[in-house]
Structure 1
């Protein structure tokens, strides 16, 4: 029989939706006892999906059960309170509803007339995000996949605008002196990747030393800029950190902005991790100068607790984005449209085909309100301080870095005293804790030493879950690590 479409009957689709909703609700049962990681050897897990492309379809009710067993029941525990690795938020229930609805209407947010409401929502979300961080009322921006894409966009805009008179968009970099970018040694690795993609090259990224608090050394920065100018290079961008991924350090953004103005350089702020915390009254002074940035990267899938993906690049006006990205194409020409108020995102960013990322953010703002997010962000920060206090008061742990934000870097040492033994124990702990699965934490290096790094961005965490983290580390160290 030839199909007329891929749709189910209304009654069959309702049954499948009911089954899917039951799976969603099941994910929220007993979250305190959810495992943070389900350990399977890679080859075993890969074998579950080692099948040729299906020629005939299967019963979808059975497929949903297969998804439950192989995907949902084995998923890394971002939803629950025991995730401390990387920078992983727990999502919101309203955003689940929004994602379902956005997928249903399947709008392409690249052009206004392909997604009118979604495009206006995205513009509004950018404005609300700007207001949240104090960037200003006059703002233009685009939702992207995350902080990496936002920083790539920021550096693309910086290059294309700063070297606009040299025709960099048409002539490229050939024959030009090296373009130089400045950031602290704590800069996120996506900046290296961005400069590779932009043809600038990582040799032209100057990673400036940091002070003891992991913020950029301004004296060293200015000295390096002057040295590069004297060498015939072309300095063009300073990157400030509004919360480093290692320790949550916030650079002196105002001083960096003033130096950028003095040196006539582009000032970009990476606020992917910590930018949204600028909304807190307790931290506003730390973020002074962010409003002076030429471009800012933020992540709504971090401290707005959105599901992936939800990053954003912001600049001061739409003309800047258009000058950086616009390319005329006959099949995309909308010059004939009568309504000149329409704004096409494809003319202000790289992508044409884009999913509608704004709906989940807009619905979350509307459903919870800014004050609820501020309360949760403050709670995360307070819990990180609580963790640092517990570590500092425990003789079997050692604290390596507190943060103004929600990161704590520490080590378990047990009864060990030699630095080499303690370092090896904590390296061993990463794999042992992953295999144990009760909590999920990763590590980093500070001043050349390996440490455990806990990031507390999850509105479901409480003091007792933080206590549980230390209990599990102790238990796993004693039972699974020979160096302990």
Structure 2
């Protein structure tokens, strides 16, 4: 059996698959009008707001995934903090260049956002992370002061609730305090860990997320919805709509009937939208938020269990303490330099995949190459993790004896 522990993927559940099938049969365009599909979409967004502790007056939209959810949030941030009508005059009219801030562990989609928004990669200042791979608050504060002195306009701080590499979670309370003091937009990239907010034993890890101006999250991760579905939440509904709404005569709403109300295309980049909401709606209606929260706690407990197994195995070492459900480690062999050790661990990873044992990935933590396991499947059992450790050690020994790595 091939256990999937790479990247960060939900495991799919039957209600979501059923919703996907019905969606394809209906052929609804979510972008316009007031009809059943649009109302289901609104309900799912409302549930996401509730899970994140956002007020009912907040806004939101379902999108393709976390990258697009982050782009939506950061677009609203740019427009809200530009000081001019960016939609009318463009970024060239901004008097002082905007600065966005995030840790050096940020997902690459934030660079894409800066480029797509016309601000450029240099507008995103990467702040060093601390020993726990969280953004260094003191360094962030100094960078903001330095940029103001140099004539830039600090606009937004991006907090990460779960980095891709290790699952590290920034101090969201401290970031919320700093953003309020410095008059910055506070965006949280919660595509990995925002849903920790519904986990009974681990919700404290994302305390402060409810204070964000915008949040990106991914129902196709820990809500196990079939691909694709992400969600962008914006506290200021007016700022959200004014960033995207365009109403030519053929997209005007009416006082009542199918074309009444706010149209969903007013809150994002797409005019035509598929019925993404149904698969999430069905899953939450059948299982309830509480069950998903307990499954998140289960995955985190399994991550800590795997971390303990690795610490107890002399042939393995952790690259960073097990934080949530992501565990980074490597096979160690005496006398190998960094390049040969990377080759050995890469070979272990590839053979685990090729032999149908487990699909894991690799990354770099604190400058060292390591193997990476993301436990995101509700079907995972501790026996699976025992097997992973045994097979990693076996393959490491075989490859070392044969001298075939690199």
Is structure 2 residue 140 aligned with structure 1 residue 221? yes
Which whole-Å CA distance do the structure 2 matches of 1:448 and 1:346 have between them? 43
| Contact 1:133–1:277 (8 Å) recurs in 2 | no
Cα deviation, residue 417, structure 1: 4.7
Is structure 2 residue 366 aligned with structure 1 residue 447? yes
Describe the superposition over 1:93-137 as per-residue Cα deviations: whole angstroms up to 9, x where unpaired.
111111111110110100124xx1111111111111222232333
In the TM superposition, 1:397-412 aligns within 5 A as 397-412=316-331
Q: Compute the RMSD of aligned alpha carbons.
A: 1.8
Cα deviation, residue 474, structure 1: 2.5
Larger Rg: 1
Is structure 2 residue 15 aligned with structure 1 residue 111? no
Q: Secondary structure at the match of 1:85?
A: coil
**In the comparison of the two structures, how many residue pairs are matched?**
401
Cα deviation, residue 480, structure 1: 4.8
Which whole-Å CA distance do the structure 2 matches of 1:342 and 1:85 have between them? 42
Structure 2 unaligned spans of 5+: none
In the TM superposition, 1:338-377 aligns within 5 A as 342-377=261-296
| Contact 1:249–1:403 (8 Å) recurs in 2 | no
Describe the superposition over 1:292-321 as per-residue Cα deviations: whole angstroms up to 9, x where unpaired.
110000000011111110100001243222
Q: Report the TM-score when normalising by structure 2.
A: 0.94
Cα deviation, residue 435, structure 1: 2.6
Is structure 2 residue 95 aligned with structure 1 residue 174? no
Q: Residue 96 of structure 1 corresponds to which residue in structure 2?
A: 17
Q: Residue 59 of structure 1 corresponds to which residue in structure 2?
A: none
Q: Residue 161 of structure 1 corresponds to which residue in structure 2?
A: 80
Q: Residue 463 of structure 1 corresponds to which residue in structure 2?
A: 382
Cα deviation, residue 157, structure 1: 0.9
| Contact 1:161–1:323 (8 Å) recurs in 2 | no
In the TM superposition, 1:142-153 aligns within 5 A as 142-153=61-72
Is structure 2 residue 55 aligned with structure 1 residue 136? yes
| Contact 1:304–1:373 (8 Å) recurs in 2 | yes
User: Taking CA–CA contacts closer than 8 Å with sequence separation of 6 or more, which of the two structures ends up with the larger relative contact order?
Assistant: 2
**Relative to structure 1, is the Cα distance of residues 419 and 139 closer, same or farther in structure 2, using a 3 angstrom cutoff?**
farther
Is structure 2 residue 186 aligned with structure 1 residue 272? no
Match of 1:251 among 170, 191, 199: 170
Is structure 2 residue 301 aligned with structure 1 residue 386? no
In the TM superposition, 1:319-330 aligns within 5 A as 319-330=238-249
Q: Report the TM-score when normalising by structure 1.
A: 0.79
Structure 1 unaligned spans of 5+: 1-32, 37-81
| Contact 1:432–1:480 (8 Å) recurs in 2 | no
Describe the superposition over 1:7-27 as per-residue Cα deviations: whole angstroms up to 9, x where unpaired.
xxxxxxxxxxxxxxxxxxxxx
